[in-house]
Amino acid sequence: MNNQRINHPLNLKTGHEIAFNNLRFSSISLTEEGYIAAATLGQGIYTLRENGQWHCIGEGLPENTITYRLKNLNHTLFAATDKGLFYYCDNRWHKTEIQIPCYDVVYQDVYLTASTEAGLLCEISGKWMNIAYPEWITYQLFITPEFLFLGCQHGIAMYDCLTGLWQEFFLHTAVTGMAVYRKRLIGVTKHGKLVVGNLKGGFVETGFEDLFIYSLIQDQGDVYICTNRGLYRFYEFKNNLIIRSVAVGYAVTDIEMTETHILMATLQYGIRKMERTK
């Protein structure tokens, strides 16, 4: 993408506005064709095409659908929404068997796994089956080589891939997203705070003044923090985790990384981009 194809360009100190500063964006992804796809809180899903124009791709989605997460998985664009899980094919959205609130979907080995209001569901032989915690609200499955971590209404559940057993960490708050930085598991709570692994088998809740955290984005070994005040990034200083600003001045809900840029979904300033720096 180049600046000549951007609608309503507005150069600011920390980035560039692409479009739609009147929409509240919740998630952003890249389609299989390389187009930007961006979802809103009840105002539709849009794509930026080669001609530099934005198009609403709402056919098949119920009216006023709130999209929690857009994901391009196994060559297909998925939308996890308050109306269920949908996938995009042949210029329209198609519903899956999941028609309850779905908060995230991941591709694990050859299986799609969805975090929903009624536990963790997995698509097996074309059918969605519950595989864990059917009585719990689950928000995100985070996969590592040795463990599966599940953010849920009571905290974090951990699945040991060697023993095949689940273990629960009750944290008195829901954990809605997770990432790993320097071997520490970090979660974000529904109250916008952090829970950080203490390397002793437990977690410590922490937060930052006037900072509400929406999500954590893993980019290989780096972890970005989407907040009400901007985009931040984790660093380590003398064995302590600290954060540094990447882009501030607007609420960032989600990001997508390209080789050269960070694309940001915001609540007040549309879709923004900035060059990546190390």
Q: What number of other Cβ atoms are within 10 A of residue 243's Cβ?
A: 17
Sign for the pseudo-dihedral over CA of 211, 188, 117, 30: positive
Separation CA 139–CA 151 (nearest Å): 5
Separation CA 187–CA 140 (nearest Å): 10
Query: Mind listing the pLDDT tens digit for each residue in 106-143?
Result: 998 789 999 999 999 999 999 999 999 999 999 999 99
**How is the beta sheet containing 10-12 ordered, strand by strand?**
10-12, 15-19, 271-275, 261-266, 252-257
Burial class (CB in 10 A: 0-12, 13-18, 19+), 60: middle
Residue 69, SS3?
A: strand
pLDDT reported for residue 4: 24
Query: For the chain, what are the domain ranges?
Result: 3-275
| Phi, psi dihedrals of residue 5, rounded to the nearest 5° | -100, 5
The fold for domain 3-275 equals: Methylamine Dehydrogenase; Chain H (2.130.10)
What residues have CB less than 8 Å from 220, skipping those under 6 apart? none
Percent of the chain with pLDDT over 70: 92
Query: Mind listing the pLDDT tens digit for each residue in 233-275?
Result: 999 888 888 999 999 999 999 999 998 999 999 998 989 999 9
What residues have CB less than 8 Å from 235, skipping those under 6 apart? 241, 242, 243, 244
pLDDT reported for residue 10: 28
Average pLDDT, the chain: 89
With contact defined as beta carbons under 8 Å apart, do 66 and 81 qualify?
yes
- Going from the C-alpha of 155 to that of each of 11, 72, 108, 230, the distances in angstroms are 41, 27, 22, 25
Q: How confident is the model at residue 212 (pLDDT cuts 50, 70, 90)?
A: very high
Spatial CA neighbour of 138 closest among 188, 98, 107, 103: 103
CA angle 190, 195, 199 (to 5 degrees): 160
pLDDT reported for residue 1: 29
With contact defined as beta carbons under 8 Å apart, do 6 and 16 qualify?
yes
Spatial CA neighbour of 139 closest among 155, 128, 163: 155
Separation CA 263–CA 15 (nearest Å): 10
What residues have CB less than 8 Å from 108, skipping those under 6 apart? 141, 143
pTM for the whole thing?
A: 0.90
What residues have CB less than 8 Å from 51, skipping those under 6 apart? 5
N residues, the chain: 278
With contact defined as beta carbons under 8 Å apart, do 116 and 152 qualify?
no
